Chains A and B, each alone.
Chain A
């Protein structure tokens, strides 16, 4: 069962415009959400995160929005730059019993292409 879903395999935007990447989750025990960026032949690198007690977190050009009632989060990149072209993964973690193992559950990824 896919607990974290990214339903758009790819997204293409023009340089300078906004990129919006979406992610849905099914497990209500998730309380921490992250976005990772991955270039070919490299491991994922952390981009931005949000705790379930917040609905928005901003870091420079990157903003993550969390809608807990809809079990949905999105990543906004404004303005988009050609160097942002990569695969973006949404991930979630949550408590299991009395502990938090820190294990992340990933979505399938969305390939973003930013055209000059």
Chain B
């Protein structure tokens, strides 16, 4: 069990640029989640995959955001035309997908700063 891995750990970009983050979940986990956390707040749900299918998207996920999970393994989160309000910690989590007791395992996150 190598844990959930996220890359990069930090990303600094200029407003208007596109950025892409990667998440590698725990290998046997079929559910994958993206969350966003800003200072002083708890993680906010963005989107969720069951295997390769994206089953739910939050209203927070504007059309500038897109997430994929090809082949049900790793996932990418892309933000196009970044804005300063996108600055946050982006967290990925995975779980086995049991019907009960859904404990999520989180990665260390990608800290995005938009200048």
Q: Which residues of B contact A116 (CB under 8 A)?
A: none
In the complex, per-residue mask of A76-104: 1 if CB is within 8 Å of any chain B CB, else 0: 00000000000001010100000011111
User: Contact: A45 with B106, CB < 8 Å?
Assistant: yes
User: Contact: A104 with B102, CB < 8 Å?
Assistant: yes
A70 near B: Cβ within 8 Å?
Answer: no
Size of interface on A: residues with Cβ below 8 Å to B: 27
Bound complex: CA of A102 vs CA of B94, how far in Å? 10
User: Contact: B109 with A101, CB < 8 Å?
Assistant: no
How many of chain B's residues touch chain A, expressed as a range? 20 to 34
Bound complex: CA of A46 vs CA of B93, how far in Å? 11
Q: Which residues of B contact A46 (CB under 8 A)?
A: 103-105
Of B31, B106, B107, which is in contact with the most chain A CB atoms at under 10 Å from its CB?
B106
Q: Which listed residue, A9, A93, A101, touches B55 by the CB 8 Å rule?
A: A101
B45 near A: Cβ within 8 Å?
Answer: yes
* Closest B residue, CB atoms, query A43: B106
The chain B residues found within 8 Å of chain A, CB to CB, are 4, 6, 31, 33, 40-45, 48, 55-56, 91, 93, 95, 97, 99-109, 111
- Beyond A44-B106, A46-B104, A104-B104, 20 additional contacts (C-beta under 8 Å) are A6-B42, A36-B106, A43-B4, A46-B105, A49-B103, A51-B100, A89-B42, A91-B42, A93-B102, A100-B102, A101-B48, A101-B56, A102-B31, A102-B33, A102-B48, A102-B97, A103-B33, A105-B45, A108-B41, A109-B41
The 4 closest A-B pairs by CB, nearest first: A106-B42, A43-B106, A102-B102, A43-B108
Query: What are 10 A-B pairs at a CB distance below 8 A?
Result: A9-B40, A36-B106, A42-B108, A43-B4, A45-B106, A46-B105, A49-B101, A101-B55, A103-B33, A106-B43
The chain A residues found within 8 Å of chain B, CB to CB, are 4, 6, 9, 32, 34, 36, 41-46, 49, 51, 89, 91, 93, 100-109
